[in-house]
Amino acid sequence: MIVFVHQPEYMPWLGFFDKLARCDTYVIYDDAQYQHGGFHNRNKIRTAKGWEWLTVPIVHGHPQIIKDVRIAGTEWKKKHLNAIMENYRSSPYFKDYFPLVKEAIDFDNKLLIELDLHLIENIANALSINVKMVRSSYFSSCGEEKSEKLVSMCKFMGADTYLSGSGGKSYLNEDLFSHANIKVMWHNYEHPIYKQTSKDFEPNMSVIDLLFNTGKEAKEIILQGGSLAENISFETARIPNIIGALKQSSI
Backbone angles phi, psi at 91, to 5 degrees: -70, 150
- What is the domain extent for residue 157? 2-248
Give every CB contact of residue 170 below 8 A, 6+ residues apart in sequence. none
- The C-alpha atoms of residue 177 and residue 148 are separated, in whole angstroms, by 9
- The CA-atom distances, in angstroms, between 140 and each of 35, 69, 155, 163, 213 are 22, 20, 11, 20, 41
Sign of the torsion angle spanned by Cα atoms 17, 19, 145, 157: positive
Average pLDDT value for the chain: 91
Give yes or no for residue 172 having a pLDDT over 50.
Answer: yes
**Max avg pLDDT among 89-98, 164-173, 231-240:** 89-98
Model-level pTM?
Answer: 0.91
Task: Dump the DSSP string for 100-125.
Answer: HHHHHHHS---BHHHHHHHHHHHHHH
pLDDT average, residue stretch 117-128: 98
Quote the CA–CA distance of 114 and 63 in Å, as a whole number. Answer: 19
What is the total residue count of the chain? 251
What does the pLDDT read at residue 237?
44
pLDDT at 19: 98
Strand (E) or helix (H) holding 210: helix 207-214
Q: Residue 235: its pLDDT value, please?
A: 42
Q: Residue 6 above 80 pLDDT?
A: yes
- Structurally, the chain folds into a number of domains equal to 1
Confidence category of residue 145, pLDDT binned at 50, 70, 90 = confident
